[in-house]
Amino acid sequence: MGSGHLSCWPHHQAGAAGDTGTRGTYGVDVMKAHRLGELREFLMSRRARISPAEAGLPDGGARRRTPGLRREEVAVLAGVGVSWYQWLEQGRDITVSPQVLDSVARVLKLTSAERRHLYALAGLNPPPLDVDPVHGDMCGGLRRLIDAWMPYPAHIMDVYWNTVLYNDAAGVVLGMRPGLVQNCLIAFFTDSLYRSRTPQWEKLAPQVVAQFRAACSERPGDEGFMAVIEEAKAASAEFAELWERRDVAPGGQVTKEMEHPLAGTLHVESTQLRIPARPDLAIVLHTPVPETGTAEKLRWLTSPEGRRGAFYPVAG
């Protein structure tokens, strides 16, 4: 019997010794054939969804043998050759460019997720995922999510690390408040309250800057990131020095030690989670480290008794 624990590491199934050559090449060919076959079926299904009227074409009043647009109509509307589009939809191994795929995606009215899928099937690196208008208004559900995380701190930030929402525990523990600069990067370097509660601030600072550079690399040339960087440089010489190191680190999980004036030492794991339907947002959850007494302290801090204690003047 197994222990019932699942590993967080990916599993790799070992093959038989000595079969990595021919079988590896054959496997690549099979996967490519499958990908091109999926490309064919995907394009045909998307083309069938779009009526001539939806594409801005007259229907001519004649009954069509197949639903949706014809191949030649897609080609004309996308500004590509009819033969080329036919080869693309047939799943032939041809050279494609992002510009041409974007033109096809526009004619077929693909969503952001469908456009990325088209890129992958065509063998290109998918573009960044945009927010689908269907998922534009998720604030109510996200508010309920972070409120359900109580009594532990949680907040939501956008791609530039601007604070969008935070729960009561984030205010009590992390010092998030209406009067604070609402950018997490700038607040990290300029908020004296947060810094006074973070004994390991100097250790965390390089990691925070490296993670922000990684976020910038996902959107090269984005003016929004440039504005945050310039503001942070002007506000903090420490940030300016760390930024010049050009270190890069992925956002993920960071263990923090914090000193709260009422509850004492808190040990939490800060985990950044992406929202597939809202790629412009990330949820940051703070989880108490086991066997540190932090869970009990957080419950007390957000209890009526703990909240009353916060009304009295306390250093920090």
> Contact at 8 Å (CB) between 228 and 186?
yes
Share of the chain above pLDDT 70, in %: 84
Question: How many Å apart are CA 173 and CA 164, to the nearest integer?
Answer: 17
Banded model confidence at residue 14, pLDDT cuts 50, 70, 90: very low
82: left (phi over 0), alpha (psi -120 to 50) or beta: alpha
Compute the half-sphere exposure of residue 219: CA atoms within 13 Å on the CB side of its CA: 15
> Contact at 8 Å (CB) between 232 and 199?
no
Banded model confidence at residue 2, pLDDT cuts 50, 70, 90: very low
Torsion of CA 278, 178, 200, 162, to 10 degrees: 30
* Average predicted confidence (pLDDT) for the chain: 85
Residue pLDDT, tens place only, 133-180: 554 456 788 999 999 999 999 999 998 999 989 999 999 999 998 878
Task: Extract long-range pairs of 169-175: CB within 8 Å, 24+ residues apart.
Answer: 169/286, 169/298, 169/301, 169/302, 170/146, 170/286, 172/301, 172/302, 172/306, 172/307, 172/310, 173/258, 173/260, 173/266, 173/268, 173/286, 173/298, 173/301, 174/258, 174/286
Q: What are the structure tokens assigned to 146, written together?
A: 């972070």
Euclidean distance between the first and final Cα of the chain, in Å?
Answer: 52
| Coil, helix or strand at residue 233 | helix
Q: How many Cβ atoms from other residues are within 10 Å of residue 38's Cβ?
A: 14
Lowest pLDDT segment from 6-15, 71-80, 225-234, 296-305:
6-15
Span 253-271, mean pLDDT? 94
| Coil, helix or strand at residue 292 | coil
Nearest to 40 by CA among 157, 156, 121: 121
Domain boundaries, the chain: 25-58+65-121, 134-309
Give the per-residue pLDDT at 211.
94
The CATH code of domain 134-309 reads 3.30.450.180
Helix, strand, coil percentages, rounded to 5, for the chain: 45, 15, 40
Whether the pLDDT of residue 315 is over 90: the answer is no
Whether the pLDDT of residue 12 is over 60: the answer is no
Overall pTM > 0.95:
no
CATH architecture entry for 25-58+65-121: Orthogonal Bundle (1.10)
Residue pLDDT, tens place only, 82-100: 999 999 999 888 888 999 9
